[in-house]
Amino acid sequence: MATRKQNNTGRTIVAIGGGALLVWLLWRGRGKGKGSGGNGDHNSTPAAVEVWIRSGDRIELDRVSSDLATVIVRARAAGKARLHVAGDARHGWVENVTDALRAAGVDVWSLS
């Protein structure tokens, strides 16, 4: 009898865990790919990040000082980046940032 009770407990745990996973997957995917014009469109197309390349090999992500690794991760998640170059930025630094973003599969738009 004890074996049968353990078996039912295991099934209950699996059913609850599976149900929780299903709810999480449905909630996570809510609104993606829907053309309703509501929040679904906002969630399905992430906004481009703004990358500012400054002098002294500095870089800003959405107007906040950052490092290149963080910029690449955030831009890869968005899929596209708007690139602004300050007039006093070193040419080699601009090329490094642009090449790194493109190598990460980011669509780079240069605006300067």
In this predicted structure, the answer to whether residue 100 has a pLDDT above a threshold of 70 is yes
Q: Where are the domains of the chain?
A: 2-39, 46-110
Q: Residue with structure tokens 């002294």?
A: 56
Cα-only R_g, the chain = 23
Tell me what pLDDT residue 37 has: 44
pLDDT-derived band at 94 (thresholds 50, 70, 90) equals very high
Mean pLDDT of the chain: 79
Architecture of domain 46-110 in CATH?
A: 2-Layer Sandwich (3.30)
57-90 residue pLDDT tens: 999 999 999 999 999 999 999 999 999 998 899 9
Tell me what pLDDT residue 69 has: 92
Return the SS3 of 47.
coil
